[in-house]
Amino acid sequence: MSDPFPRRGGHLHAEGVPIARIVEQAGTPVFIYSATALCEAYDALTTALARVRHTVCYSIKSNMNLAVVRTLVARGAGIDATSGGELFRALRAGADPSKIVYSGVGKTDPEINRALDAGIKLFNIESRAELRRIDACAEAKGCVAPIGFRVNPDVDPRTHPYISTGLRTSKFGIPIAEAVEAYAEAKALDHVCVVGVDCHIGSQILSIEPLADALARVRSLVEELRKAGHRIEIIDVGGGIGVRYQKEEPPSPALYAETVIGIVGDLDCEIVVEPGRSITANAGILITRVLYQKSNEAKHFVIVDAAMNDLIRPSLYQAYQRIEPVGPPRAPEQTVDIVGPVCESGDFLARERLLPRAEPGDLFAVRSAGAYGFAMSSNYNGRPRAAEVLVRGERFAVVRKRETLEDLVRGESVPEELTG
Ligand code: LLP
């Protein structure tokens, strides 16, 4: 499918369904995901890697909706989880535990225990202290944890600083120079079994060179570890493949796979990849309704019903996400700030953007919202979180109800004796 959200007869659709029809049922703001686009992105990567033994472990952090995860799991995907909550969601969506990898710098004992109980494929360990915790948890259960270290290769992925993870200054992984020593320590423990090496250098990576640099360092490490007697069977190359938001030219699945296979393909290891954004970003959009417009000397504001609590990427990373009207574009175009109702000047979806004229009641679509959209949403300013809809062909379903006001106070209590 070229575009899962095509314009037909002037009106934007999600696959075969007019978006206006979805909004009638689900309201706004609403995230809409294309099942076909999810499957196509997954298929493109797994096909490109078909020459080598591999598992595509979808990085659930980018979009953890159960129906989205289920769509990918049903297609054969494994899962990259980063917390006990993500592991719970993966299992709830029917993921095969033997295809789940688990990274994260702060794994707690309960999280480790749940992963051990589930029987996951691989713990990607981020410190030597964590190694000892995992060994202790596994000992208490009388089992052995399959592990690898996440190594930090000190490579600059040339992306936004908040999503660069493979630099020396980053909190992630262990320095690659200390890896041999860390693996030796692991080998001496009875309740962990060394099976892999992991490396993830960042997200929204648009050039292949940093990935290639990091992989070359991982390759040398694997060779060194094997010489030291470790059985390295899995190389987890992380996620991070960039996507097109505006005019970016991210590496294609073919180029990415060629690079990975070219550098580590002959080591007789299973290759694990952890893509998030490249599976989900362009399979999703956020639909919002225009509430008001106003101008001052400097600006023209279009105030919509979605805000930074629904989609924080523009505010947090100054990210550009394409915006277009759902109905036929009105003339003339005007330069506007698209802002939400939240009480912060940082609450915007777009700034100084040339867009077709808007009128109150119009619907706008924010593109590329399938990754790190709903997943990063919050209830800030007392805003119930948006609904989520999944579309396949001519059919659609609400896969997460809009939160209610009651949802906003769920779990809270007002103890009389403390509140006066
Ligand atoms: N594996 C690990 C260990 C990760 O930390 C991440 C992302 C991924 C895989 C998936 O990366 P992806 O393929 O999606 O680039 N909220 C930010 C992105 C944060 C990425 C965090 N880690 C954003 O909206 O741009």
User: Number of H helices and number of E strands within the chain?
Assistant: 13, 21
161/308: higher pLDDT: 308
| Closest CA to ligand 1's atom 23 | 372
Q: Find the residues whose C-beta lies inside 6 A of ligand 1.
A: 59, 61-62, 80, 103, 163, 165, 200, 203-204, 238-241, 274-278, 313, 317, 372
Domain boundary among 216, 249, 277: 277
> For atom 9 of ligand 1, which residue has the closest CA?
239
Question: Does 20 share its domain with 146?
Answer: no
Single out the residue in 238, 259, 277 at which a domain terminates: 277
Query: Which residue is associated with the tokens 């948006």?
Result: 386
Instruction: Please check the confidence at residue 266 and state whether its pLDDT lies above 70.
Output: yes
Tell me, yes or no, whether 64 and 164 share the same domain.
yes
Q: Are residues 218 and 190 in the same domain?
A: yes
SS3 62: helix
DSSP letter (8 states) at residue 394: T
Average pLDDT value for residue range 179-199:
98
Beta bridge partners of 57: 78
Spacing, Cα 304 to ligand 1 middle (Å): 28
- Kindly state the percentage of the chain with pLDDT values over 70: 100
Give residue 419's pLDDT band: very low, low, confident or very high (50, 70, 90).
Answer: very high
Q: Report how far ligand 1's centroid is from the alpha carbon of 167 (Å).
A: 15
Q: Is the pLDDT of residue 163 over 90?
A: no
Helix 179-187, helix 128-141: angle, nearest 10:
20
Q: Which ligand 1 atom lies nearest to the CA of residue 276? A: 14
DSSP string, 38-61: HHHHHHHHHHHTTTS-EEEEEEGG
Regarding whether 382 and 242 lie in a shared domain, the answer is no
User: To which H or E segment does residue 78 belong?
Assistant: strand 78-81
Query: What is the tens place of the pLDDT at every residue in 341-356?
Result: 999 999 999 999 999 9
Segment among 111-115, 167-171, 350-354 with least mean pLDDT: 167-171
- Using most ligand atoms within 8 A of CB, pick from 45, 86, 203 the residue to mutate for ligand 1: 203
Q: What is the pLDDT of residue 294?
A: 97
Has 193 been annotated as catalytic? no
Is 188 among the domain residues? yes
Per the CB < 8 A criterion, the answer to whether 183 and 230 are in contact is: yes
Q: Is the pLDDT of residue 54 over 80?
A: yes
Residues 43, 133, single domain; the answer is yes
Average pLDDT over residues 48-52: 98
Q: Which of 38, 45, 61 to mutate to test the pocket of ligand 1 (most atoms within 8 A of CB)?
A: 61
Q: Sign of dihedral through CA atoms 350, 31, 375, 412?
A: positive
Please give the residue range of the domain that contains residue 153.
35-277
How does the average pLDDT of the chain come out, rounded?
97
Overall number of domains in the chain: 2
Mean pLDDT of the region 217-222: 98
Rounded-to-integer distance, Cα 91 and Cα 242, Å: 27
Atom number of ligand 1 nearest to Cα 150: 3
Which CATH number belongs to the domain containing residue 353 in this structure?
A: 2.40.37.10
> Which pLDDT does position 1 carry in this prediction?
63
Mean pLDDT of 13-25: 98
Atom of ligand 1 nearest to the CA of 375: 16
* Residue 63 sits in the same domain as residue 129: yes
Structure tokens at 311: 């989609």
pLDDT in tens, 366-392: 999 999 999 999 999 999 999 999 999
Same domain, 185 and 76: yes
pLDDT at 162: 79
Task: Supply the pLDDT for residue 168.
Answer: 77
The pLDDT value recorded for residue 291 is 98
How far does the centroid of ligand 1 lie from the alpha carbon of residue 202, in Å?
Answer: 7
- The mean per-residue pLDDT over the stretch 202-230 comes to 96
